């Protein structure tokens, strides 16, 4: 059984697993269990809970996060350092954006064939929804050098990084699901499987005839792609808005 509840509880499920591992460690120690049994019990607890997560990267993050914390605990790490890590994580991923994808960098050449399948006129507006640190915008700039590139990102820290890397693009902090897609000739997403039903509904409601939706790795549910092709271990899915308009 998954602890994620369709990812609704992520990353709370990770913190919950680590909290239970800590409780197992403290409980075994207070009951007088000799070393190394309290540590082994806490590791068994977190590994079992990590296995309940569907996404491989989440399983690894939960499983390795607790041993890393134990190792750091043996070092003389001051409390202010832990507070700094927490503040940094909140700045990188604000609470309201925990349901969006984590930082998935787009490989630079992944979209090189895009213009051949979905040609755009010079000056067309292109949106990278959830642009992160700018890898998707850099890939789009290679594919569409004559277009107007824009990116929306929930993390202020990543917006700063993206603006620095993509000087010619307009990048702002915001919610990609509240951003109006109607002005754009193409919207690019590198999100999560759980986000794709929401992406489909928004594309059907807002993309204009002649526009395109591009998704890296994750297809729209129940919708046949206009074109799809592989780039290394990645797959590009291209959808023409004309199909649902």
Q: How do the domains of the chain map onto residue ranges? A: 12-77, 114-243
CA dihedral defined by 209, 214, 219, 222, rounded to 10 degrees?
Answer: 0
pLDDT at 76: 53
* 114-243: CATH topology: Rossmann fold (3.40.50)
Whether the per-residue pLDDT at 77 is higher than 90: the answer is: no
Q: Which of 150, 122, 148 is nearest to 134 (CA)?
A: 150
Close Cβ partners of 80 (under 8 Å, ≥ 6 residues apart):
none
Whether the per-residue pLDDT at 123 is higher than 80: the answer is: yes
pLDDT at 209: 95
Q: From edge to edge, which strands make up the β-sheet containing 212-216? A: 170-173, 148-153, 125-129, 186-189, 212-216, 234-240, 227-231
Rounded Cα distance between 198 and 52, Å, is 25
Please indicate whether residue 112 or residue 92 has the higher confidence score (pLDDT): 112
Whether the per-residue pLDDT at 162 is higher than 90: the answer is: yes
Q: How far is CA 235 from the centre of its chain?
A: 16
Question: What is the band of 5 on the pLDDT scale with cuts at 50, 70, 90?
Answer: very low
9-23, 31-45, 78-92, 94-108: which range is least confident on average?
A: 78-92
Q: What is the pTM of this model?
A: 0.66
Q: For residue 177, give Cα distances in angstroms to 97, 154, 157, 195.
A: 11, 10, 19, 10
């Amino acid at each position: 059984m998954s602890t994620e509840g369709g990812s609704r509880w992520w990353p709370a499920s990770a913190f919950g697993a680590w909290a239970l591992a800590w409780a197992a460690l403290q409980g075994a120690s207070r009951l007088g269990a000799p070393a190394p049994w309290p540590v082994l019990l806490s590791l068994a607890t977190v590994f079992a809970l990590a296995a309940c997560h569907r996404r491989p990267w989440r399983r690894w993050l939960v499983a390795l996060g607790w041993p890393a914390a134990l190792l750091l605990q043996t070092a003389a790490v001051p409390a202010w350092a832990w507070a700094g890590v927490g503040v940094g994580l909140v700045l990188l991923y604000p609470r309201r954006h925990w349901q969006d994808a984590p930082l998935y960098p787009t490989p630079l050449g992944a979209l090189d064939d895009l213009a051949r399948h979905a040609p755009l006129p010079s000056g067309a507006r292109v949106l990278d929804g959830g642009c992160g640190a700018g890898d998707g915008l850099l890939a789009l700039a290679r594919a569409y050098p004559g277009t107007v590139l824009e990116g929306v990102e929930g993390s202020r820290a990543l917006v700063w990084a993206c603006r620095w890397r993509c000087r010619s693009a307009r990048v702002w902090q915001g919610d990609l699901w509240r951003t109006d897609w109607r002005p754009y000739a193409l919207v690019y997403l590198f999100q999560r499987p759980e986000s794709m039903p929401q992406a489909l509904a928004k594309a059907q409601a807002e993309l204009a005839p002649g526009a395109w939706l591009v998704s890296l790795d994750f297809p729209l549910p129940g919708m046949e792609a206009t074109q799809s092709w592989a780039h290394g271990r990645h797959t590009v899915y291209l959808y023409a808005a004309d199909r649902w308009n």
